[in-house]
Structure 1
Amino acid sequence: MARQKPIVVVTRKLPAAVETRMRELFDTRLKEDDKPMSQAQLVEAVKHADILVPTVTDRIDAHLLSQAGENLKLIANFGNGIDNIDVLSANARNITVTNTPGVLTEDTADMAMSLILAVPRRFAEGMLYLKEHKDWPGWSPTWMLGKRVWGKRLGIIGMGRIGQAVARRAKAFGMQIHYHNRRRLSEDVEYDLEATYWESLDQMLARMDVISIHCPHTPATYHLLSARRLKLVNKDAYIVNTARGEVIDEQTLARLIENGDIAGAGLDVFENEPKINPKLARSERVVLMPHMGSATEEGRMDMGEKVIINIKAFIDGHRPPDRVLPSMV
């Protein structure tokens, strides 16, 4: 690039230490507030940036990229998922795309395991009762009974880094590990996790007590848990999603829970974020979290460091370590 310091436009407010480091290294244009950029602001950003640093809330689609200036050569996503970016269109315009894989694994797995525990044991219901009622009569042998997770069958959809991290946690809680994945894991990994592979997602869904989703959102996984598949789920089973909301047909899920055809759900992501399905919001059998899976101070700092490393590698003429190729989408 012609400039000594490339123009880096950041679309959301990042941790202060990350912003400080980016200012030191680049000609960085920061977002002063923590609101998502409007479409007009995004258009302005891609017109003038050499490097764009978006987040999951920014839709970097073909129409937006068609308005990009000639200097835009790198989109360094602040996040693991890249479903918010049209990677094929970026590649066609010779724009490199990177993300921040790996650093969110343990934090997201912690959130998934928390929901796996919270939903069957009715933690949220118990907490809300104490907050809303001042006349709790005390312990009762028959009140607020949930289901134990020990000995139950956990079906993991997507056995990548996060899926395996969840499996390790669930195994420690005495759960039986089952999984469906595009590719079967090696025998060594299966042995270590004591995991049973299901080639048929339909057959696995029908036999699990808890289902936890850890696959990315791609055109192939949109509504992977479709209305048809959700109806295969046992009525006493629970669904946990810390991946992407679009993987589930949310309207059908809400209806099945409302009718008692699925026992409950723990959701950290939603199909139409930030809008929440009213039926899910009303249900006492659903635990809702505001997309907090990677929300730790350490995780956000690690994400920022990944972004900076990718930008530095790119401007130094090297291949960024976390480049996303069209074949990966």
Structure 2
Amino acid sequence: MPKTSQSLHPLLVLHPIQPAYLRLFEEAGFDPIPGWERSDFEAANRRVADDLRFVLTSGSRGLSAAEMELYPKLEMICALGAGYENIDRAAARGRGVVVTFSPGANAPQVADHAIALILAMLHDIPAADRAARTGAWKTYRNSRLHPTLSGRRLGILGFGRIGRETAGRAAGGFATPIAYSARTRRDDVDHTYFADPRALAEWAEIVVVATPGGPETRHLVDAEFLSALGPDGYLVNVSRGSVVDTAALIDALRRKTIAGAALDVVDGEPEVPAELADLPNILLTPHIAGHSPEAVTATIRLVIDNLAAHLEGRPVPTAVPID
């Protein structure tokens, strides 16, 4: 017998998810209640706050201690994706609320996007497309030469699953020398390790930012980092906007103390500062690096695995580490 809406477990969803993927939760026994728009959030709270046990959010959206207080029966907060920086974990721990995340589920797609951003930036694909469409074919072609990715030194800031996947694509497909900076050296890779992120920037011609967000990495890419990267260097960010000091990046791009940048994430998104968007040496995408049918499905499946384990009294597969 199919489950009725009354028998489904309410799940407040604070991160935008397309209807086709919300149905995956319904098939697993949950009633996904959209709450990413303020009006929907308030309506959902009026409907289910007193009995709500499960919340699905993301690292960028998070869940505050004050919001947790709205739900007296809250048992579990699931972060959709690898980030969980804006979930108040201390408040959750104090209330005995389980917090989970979805590490690695979309890493291949994010790594693909990082490589796509590098190629589009180096080859100036957006401007070339506009030139071909607007009759400036010969003018553009005769006035531009573009650097290649092959053989360029690629630095990766943060070396989790996304960093590793990006390194594998670059080294295997483009013969790029790889170096990385992370909190600890990885014994299972042969790439050059820099404990100091600025030393990585000095070595690299391109830096891909693939660190977690949060206070520990806020403005890790600052004016000194960008100065170390230098006028022939390029920056790509597929992690969190907060890792890059936006004001310092705008200044570096404006003064051409770095050659260019490609960002899938911006601090304060979805708002993009006009001073950044108007620059000619930047490429922007709207936080879509992890968006593919395969990646979204894999991420949601991992969330469902965590929810099911909790309901069955088993340890959840991917609990957020306790600080």
Which residue in 2 is equivalent to 1:148? Answer: 148
Show the counterpart of 1:159.
159
The answer for the alignment partner of 2:55 in structure 1 is: 52
Structure of higher RCO (CA pairs closer than 8 Å, 6+ residues apart):
1
Structure 2 gaps, min length 5: 1-5
User: Corresponding residue for 1:26?
Assistant: 29
Q: Give the deviation of 1:228 after TM superposition.
A: 2.7
Q: Counterparts of 1:221 and 1:57 in 2: how far apart (Å)?
A: 14
Which one of 50, 56, 63 corresponds to residue 66 of structure 2?
A: 63
- C-alpha separation between the residues in 2 aligned to 1:57 and 1:189? 30
Note if 1:108 corresponds to 2:110.
Answer: yes
Q: Is the CA contact 1:206–1:233 (under 8 Å) kept in the aligned structure 2? A: yes
If the length of structure 1 is used for normalisation, what is the TM-score?
0.88
Instruction: Identify the match of residue 231 of structure 1 among 208, 227, 230.
Output: 227
Counterparts in 2 of 1:225 and 1:309: CA distance versus 1, 3 Å: same
In 1, distance between residues paired with 2:120 and 2:28?
43
User: What is the CA distance between 1:138 and its match in structure 2?
Assistant: 6.6
Instruction: Give yes or no for contact 1:242–1:269 (8 Å, CA) kept in 2.
Output: yes
Secondary structure of 1:199's counterpart equals: coil
CA deviation after TM superposition for structure 1 residue 252, in Å: 0.9
SS of the residue aligned with 1:294?
Answer: coil
Counterpart of 1:76, as a letter, is: C
Tell me how far apart the structure 2 counterparts of residues 14 and 8 of structure 1 sit (CA, whole Å): 13
Report what 2:301 is aligned to: 305
Deviations 1:19-76 (A, max 9, x none): 33422443514229x74666645755654411111235533112222x2322110012
Counterpart of 2:88, as a letter, is D
Sequence identity (%): 27
Question: In terms of mean alpha carbon deviation, does 211-220 or 227-236 score higher?
Answer: 227-236
1:210, distance to aligned residue in structure 2 (A): 0.3
- 1:119: Cα distance to partner? 1.1
Name the count of aligned residue pairs: 316
In the TM superposition, residue 16 of structure 1 has moved relative to its aligned partner by: 4.2
CA 1:46–1:251: 2 relative to 1, 3 Å: farther
For the aligned residues, what is the CA RMSD? Answer: 2.3
* Structure 1 segment 150-229 matched on structure 2, within 5 A: 150-171=150-171, 172-186=173-187, 188-190=188-190, 195-229=191-225
| Structure 1 alignment gaps of length 5 or more | none
Q: State the 1:207 CA deviation.
A: 2.4
Counterpart in the other structure of 1:291: 287
Closer/same/farther in 2, CA of residues 270 and 47 from structure 1, 3 Å limit: farther
Deviations 1:116-151 (A, max 9, x none): 2121221122123334x23433774x4221211222
Partner SS, residue 137 of structure 2: coil
1:122·1:285 contact (CA, 8 Å) conserved in 2?
no
Letter in 2 for 1:14: I
Aligned mates of 1:72, 1:311 — CA distance in 2: 13
Amino acid at match of 1:272: G
**Pair 1:282-2:284 in alignment:** no
Are the counterparts in 1 of residues 58 and 83 from structure 2 also a CA contact under 8 Å? no
Distance 2:247 2:319 in 1: 35
Superposed displacement of residue 80, structure 1: 1.9
Instruction: State the partner residue of 1:244.
Output: 240
CA contact (8 A) 1:36 1:57 kept: no
- In the alignment, is residue 262 of structure 1 matched against residue 262 of structure 2? no
| 1:237 and 1:262 in contact (8 A); partners too | yes
TM-score normalised by structure 2 residue count? 0.90
